[in-house]
Chain A
Amino acid sequence: MIRFEQVSKVYSGGFQALQKVSFHLEKGEMAYLTGHSGAGKSTLLKLISVMERPTDGQVLFNGQDVSRIGRGHIPYVRRRIGMIFQDHHLINARTVFDNVALPLVIEGYSHQDIRRRVSAALDKVGLLGKDRYFPPMLSGGEQQRVGIARAIVNKPSLLLADEPTGNLDPELSMEILRLFEAFNRVGVSVLIATHDTGLINSQRYRTLTLDSGRMQTEEGV
């Protein structure tokens, strides 16, 4: 699904975020990406969603080298990835329904399809009755689940989560993890960047550890 080959990233200030990182995330696999703050977790995720380009090496997504694709192709790569962020990245001026529907509207689905799929996605994250709310009216955990609903609404083959439980208590964090596991069970590949050790230790998945931009260990399932 994702293959990094000798990927390095140096930011324009000279900061080396990643150094010769190589790893492979299998189709249908679920893994953690961990390491202390500034170790390069976010950079690694941004290279997959083409928010950043590597200085060196190859980033393959479904066999396609996304590190060299043209600007115009980037949106089509992102449509195949569901992204979840620590701060949700929801549009507060739009309802929960509109937020979740956004990826479908962008792809040009019909209104009936959109209504059906958004309802299904909200149902999966347990927010079916809240489609008319605005994000600020919801709790942090609920907002995060709206973000997850938006990430999965167009059935991506890959979920990338950047500190998805960062602001949540352990109980809510486990709920979120259960959601990811449910998606993983139906074949979605999941990569969760986190430094929440409680989360990592609760379920044994493969853990990719970054230390100062280098890939340290790969612990098996």
Chain B
Amino acid sequence: MARVILDGVSVSFPVFNANAKSLRANLLYLGSGGILGQDLRGHVTIAALSRVSLCVETGDRIAVIGRNGSGKSTLLRVIAGIYRPTEGSVRVDGRVSTVLGAGLVVDEELTGWEAIEYACLLRGIPRDRIDALGKEVAEFTELGSYLSVPVRTYSAGMKMRLSFAVATCDAPDVLLIDEAIGAGDIYFLEKARQRARNFLEQSNILFLASHSEDMLQSICTKGIVLDQGEVVAAGPIRGALQAYHDVGGPPRNRVTVSAVEFAFAEASEDGQGEPGQPFASSSVPEHPPAGAFDGNARTYWLSDPVSRVRDTAFIGFDFGPDRSIEVRQVVLRQRVHDLDCAGCVTCVAVQASDDGFEADVRTAETIQVEPDVSKQSFTVPPIGPARSWRLLARSDSVAGRPWGLSELDFDSVPAERLDEGRAIGSDPAAMNVPVAAAFDGSPFTQWTAKERAEAVNGRSWIGYDFGPDREIEVRSFTLRQWNGGGNPNTIPAVKVQYSGDGFVTDVRTADTVKISENTARNSYDIAPSARARFWRLLADAPTGGGHWGVIELRFSQYPVRRSPGGPDHGR
């Protein structure tokens, strides 16, 4: 069983300029110690990978897609064990084999035969097998009599054949190929493809980084898209390639936001609370960020998210002996990019207890979680206050199911009931599926018909009229988009607007929110604005018309709040 697990892997490179790499700079640093030394030592670091989490199991052929410098090679080298991640951990079960450069790993003065022998040696193939495997490799390369002349006389394609053949000769469990394979001719690509398919039958894992989309599409089953060191999409190869095209445009400026920086202006209902104690069934939360606690919401990260749930696993929070909190909303983000997701935990129980879940275990709700990395928020029905709250995952399968959270918020503020009002939209005919059950207390849900997924030429919006007697300040919304089958031109962002007169003359914009590309339900926070009767999401179409279809929309008065202050507990 081959398996590759990356858990929150970050890699940052020091880039030494001539000064920083030399001894002089460091000696000067010792001597001066002040500003001069800092300047001399001020080497730049490049974040080549940031918080990449992956879980790849037997039989996957993964395309690693991304622009130049997006971190593809670094990712492969991290998996190969060549680079040690600066943060996070890598686990690879199985023997790894690599083709990471265009050249051969052995001296080019060697003849083809010798190169095969020594390259096998490098791969750690025992000597008694090298003879037999060497012959097979020679056969596969079809280099014939060229094998008797030095490799330096070979063309790039011929070298690549040799590297590929050696790398695959003894059916490694994990094969990593970077670019190099692109040098092959069409005939060879077909052979390589064939070999890659055999690979799958031998139930191994392939990672292939390339810019040749034809090749990726024909060899790989799944893809991950990297952009500036982050995994921005993962899934079946077609979708991944699509996402890669969507990434386009000039490179984004990287802004690293730590948990501390998620701050909202609005003060919490019951003021600053005392920090409680996070708890979990297995790993201890690793990064409880400062300021995560404001009496209501709470965020923390789990350190070992890919551990499998064999029986039950939970993560939760103990609010302390003196407090009782009623949790009304849960926001969670799962950490693992499990490309399969067959066998992930999809169902979690929200439970409350006053005695640490000994005798008193109350289940508030069982929620369905999307096997997806996106942040999802869920409303919990009222069951009264309790000291401890947790999410419980259960697995009946013997093998266990992967389970891991990267972020978990409990929010105790129950929102005001908003059970009256009516849906509004730019196309009233489309607003024909109001679901009664969706009016469950705080937020409300509104579906639009699927026909709304047509291209937006001009402007399209969907919103809510809270009625003449009420003014609401919307602070978050939950949105599920209708996916028209991998639509290339979806709306990247919506404007959250409010009005007092139905958007006739009074149109105010609260926030512009970037929409996640996937179809999962996502929740978004909105900057504080003002109270108003009418609220809407406005899709501003790019030229040519983007596609836009909302199948679920909830507005909530209360944002998931995280205050800037608060003690830094647990460090």
Chains A and B come from one and the same complex: no
